[in-house]
Structure 1
């Protein structure tokens, strides 16, 4: 029996249906478009034949996540918050550059979330997520009792810290929390899709978008969105700090601990941030330019180019995979 099985990303599927013809067991031929894991033998023929890249081969058992010390975990969480803020700053800017950088920060934040443990079933953050479900309003029929039973299984309960800050600090704290929730729910949605749980995936994505609305509103009320020129300057400042000061230390600490996955994640992001800073500065200097500019985003490391490269200069992903803005 193979140690992998095929999963289909419904959002990417273009209905070419080549997978139906190459699958030797009929696992891809289902009424709900979800590949039948019970029939899949892990040959990978469907993934190779799919022209839209909608089918991937995933392991039946994921390896245990590499242990991390508390400083590294805290660094990852701090970085995740920073990326969320950078994305929301970009959301306040017009044009394709802002959209590309917003998406780039989104990609890097998801990568950081994975390294922090949010996407794996053995994550200690599951309790936090389940608790958040009980604090939300849900329609009739929501399995609240099931959530409560799952929470009871957690032995290491943490006391909630009650904030006594003033309104502005509360707004920024709420902004941070909503931004993190967006990332977590997006990560959970991706996992649900891989598991073939499409209803759960849709719920997570809807919740993620809702948290984004909350975060942007808090950010706006806090007065953190200035003019386009000011926002571009803030973008240059934030990205420059990350690639010059923040990431170099993170890379060194990860290297010292032998955490190669985190080291690579930090290194890719550090190089991408330097590119972002340059693009922000260029956009600032050409703010009144009317000629349309296009940007191309690497979906793996978050690098942004103004033309389609042969391959990514940071992570070597083929240029054909870059996303146009």
Structure 2
């Protein structure tokens, strides 16, 4: 058996499928003003004057699918809790940290993996597939929602929660396959904990559950398994950075959707685009790191304004 083949998992148990209300899906969207027609026209002109558009999406796109972000005022993870995501060095060096992460991620996966694309993801897909305007989507999100919507030309800047890697032999596993293995080796009551969700799927669970949790190991070499996500404190793989640089150079304009550009890995895309004299538009609720760099900024909820664009 070749460990480098992605292993496909079967569908999750039906009892853990949930129906999400509109209020639940939008509970993590920050306060925002109504869309005005001037901004609709500005955005419409920007998009359809482009022939090779690069779209950079952030957590503000996923919040409309019910996945919280980290930094939004009042509703972001940092505003609601003292929880901070795991650091890369902590995961690598500490077996206890890995046990805690996998136990919490195991519980959070049921809810995280069931989130579905929203109108923003489908709008971006249509610009790529039907209008042939989008030539690349760079997403800072790890939730797979662009692929679920049908987009093809997607680069996952920070990786994806849907793959698991062996840090020793580079074997690759489908996350659902790992989930099913963990279900067989761990007995957890999901009645309460399964209602939680966080940007990385890392939810709170009782300490006694964490201490008894059996973590996954590579089937080939018994090595450490880690989701294919760039954890805080780690660097985006160099090959991915270079690929994105090429895509930016090859584009004529850049559209930012739902990102404050607080993380440098996303911000440097805009710095490169400015240096190369690309047309840039940022659509986001609240301020961004690039607001004073002379780019077109529209402050609006993506899911409110994009459906008003005439295609």
TM interval, shorter chain, is under 0.3
Q: Which has the higher contact order (CA 8 A, sep 6+)?
A: 2
Quick check: which has more Rg, 1 or 2? 1
Q: Give me the TM-score of the superposition, normalised by structure 2.
A: 0.27
TM-score, length basis structure 1: 0.26
Structure whose residues are more often strand by fraction: 2
